[in-house]
Chain A
Amino acid sequence: MTHLRIALPTGVRSIWPADAMSDVPRLIGVVGMLLWALAAVAAPLITPYDPTKLGSAIPLLPPTAAHIFGTDQLGRDLFTRVIYGARIDLQIGLIGVAIPLTTGTLIGLLAGYRGGLLDALFGRIVDIVTAFPFVVLVIAIVAMLGPGLVNLYIAISAVSWVAYARIVRGETLLQKNREFTLAARALGYRDARIMLRHLLPNVIAPAIVFSVSDFALDVLLGASVGFFGLGVQSPTPEWGVMIAEGRTFILTSSWVVVFPGLAIVSVGFFMGLIGDSLADAIRRVGPRK
């Protein structure tokens, strides 16, 4: 595969160039997300409190040294709940990206490579699904299936593959008539091999860049769905649910709403930094013919 990378500097590797660490915004984004991942994994080591146990402290205590984010309306340490909340919200981002990235990429590759009737059919489906406002369709599907994380994943998977498929299809159309694909075909390789071993590494980069901002959007969506009571159910800590339940106390104890919100904002910020820098990296490589 090395010869392919030399011939085509636009593959996966190009979005992570050698000078990646000199890109300060990207570095901030990566470090920030690593910290969140660490917090989610090592939550019990970071905080001594229990995220769900009731009444271990006075309710609605303002931030102090013992409770740096204060306590919530049921006397639980808010910092602990925000940290444990990362487990759910980052999971929504990960699964919400992983499934559509896989299915969308495969569908886009197939539609772009095969063309013809399959591609025409794909085009119609894309037109139909994109006619729906994304959030509305996801909420409608979850509303029908019933609340819960698994149903949220089903809804996201049913809707957001389209974005990935569209990106990959476009890239495939550009790459399928290039020399390396023609050479692979001349060598008599089967279509599956050409698509997965030759085309895939060369068309996936834009989809991966998109998946970074999509991750942030899925976290947003997951929190919104939680806010409406359609996602994770109380008492499991989830940022959207925490904001929904803390709303009533906003005038006297704004921290109950402010901190979970800032957690969401920070994930969006870090992912935004990474996404922008990756998009720039792809653009720097220049337009592909």
Chain B
Amino acid sequence: MIRYVAARLIQIVPVLFGVSVIVFLLVRLIPGDPAIAILGSRASPELIARVHEQYGLNKPIWEQYLSWVINALHGNFGASFFYQDEVFGLTLERLPLTLELLTYAAVLGLVIAIPFATVAAMRRGGLVDQLLRLAFSASLGVPSFWLGIILILIFSLELRIFPAAGPGDGLLDTVWHLSLPALTIALAMSPLLFRALRSSLIEVLPADYVMTGRAAGLRSSTLLWSYILRNSFLPLVTVLSINMGWMIGGTVVVETVFGLPGIGSLLINSISTRDYTIIQLVTLILAMIVVLVNLATDVLYALLDPRVSLR
């Protein structure tokens, strides 16, 4: 068990290294002089020199990378010219809202997918199953930015049930404000969750313990909740973690549509303000979230299912 976790941790090191290299190199994609891209062509030579200094553009590239990593490990990503503030604190401040939104969306996604997947798996091949599969695969192509706007139109502007924008204050108000954004992400995610959950349930349903439970006269609801879904819990967590990247992509879009001050909308806003360091930092943080969630899932898996670490 400990060896498994240790091995898993060691595996992460080259990934983190690679991620940091890609994030570092992103700024290199800017055509021409990044300093001019940030400041505009009429910037004074002193200002340009200051930007060169901040990005370390006047040193050899491996030296630039090293000093970038060392600074990054100290939480020093430089300052934003637009926000006139230090980038790291500014970004970190917005992280909790994004994490709250992701969690809320994951829960809602499961709440939507579990009942439909259960029904579809139990009536496998039947009309209901076919219709559900059709509906979910059709909704895979629904753009979340559009869905968000339509939900705002229906639930905020017409029915006035949920607020159209902003993060809210305090726990209940935040939950209320995040409901529509989380629902948007959850709906966009639900086809993937539905599909994976349905097939994992189909695998479980013919299992011996289900047969035994049935033969012992357990009610099918007891069997479903206490045995089948419980055994499908691990695949469920895996499905969520595999699709973490998609959920995060959805968050970026949805935060922007709903005017939520998370790091997703920060990423988009930083594009027009040419805050390349913020774009780098947010990309780095979001990739780290994916890596850490995958790690946590694997460790959880090993903790709950002893067969995994024996492999």
Contacts and interface: CB of A to CB of B under 8 A. Distances in A.
Do these two chains interact? yes
Interface of A: 25, 124-125, 127-137, 139-141, 143-146, 213, 216, 219-220, 223-224, 227-230, 240, 243, 247, 250-251, 254, 257-258, 260-261, 264-269, 271-273, 275-276
24 contacts: A124-B18, A127-B15, A128-B15, A131-B19, A131-B287, A132-B287, A133-B244, A135-B246, A135-B252, A136-B283, A137-B287, A140-B26, A143-B270, A143-B279, A144-B26, A144-B279, A145-B30, A227-B253, A230-B271, A247-B149, A250-B152, A261-B143, A272-B141, A276-B133
B218 interface: no
Contacts of B140: 213, 216, 268, 272
Contact of A261 (B146, B256, B286): B146
A143 B271 CA distance: 6
B141 A268 contact: yes
Contact of A257 (B134, B139, B150, B249): B150
Q: Is the interface of A mostly helix, strand, loop or mixed?
A: helix
B29 interface: yes
B138 interface: yes
Contacts of B252: 133, 135-136, 139
A227 B257 CA distance: 10
B268 A228 contact: yes
A128 B18 CA distance: 6
A254 B283 contact: no
Nearest to A271: B141
B143 A133 contact: no
Nearest to B270: A143
B291 interface: yes
A127 B14 contact: yes
Tier of interface size on chain B: 35 or more
A53 B53 CA distance: 48
Contacts of B144: 224
Nearest to B15: A127
Given A132-B22, A134-B245, A134-B249, A243 B149 contact: yes
B297 to A, nearest CB: 14
Nearest to B16: A131
Interface of B: 14-15, 18-19, 22, 26-27, 29-31, 133-134, 137-147, 149-150, 152-153, 157, 244-246, 248-250, 252-253, 256, 267-268, 270-272, 276, 279-280, 282-283, 286-287, 290-291
A128 B147 CA distance: 31
Contacts of A130: 245
B246 A134 contact: yes
B253 A135 contact: yes
A250 B283 contact: no
Q: Which 3 A/B pairs are nearest by Cβ-Cβ distance?
A: A268-B141, A135-B249, A128-B18
A264 B286 CA distance: 27
B31 A131 contact: no
B144 to A, nearest CB: 8
Contacts of B249: 133-136
A212 B146 CA distance: 22
A260 B143 CA distance: 11
A268 B15 contact: no
Nearest to A267: B141
B287 A139 contact: no
Given A140-B26, A264-B146, A128 B19 contact: yes
B286 A136 contact: yes
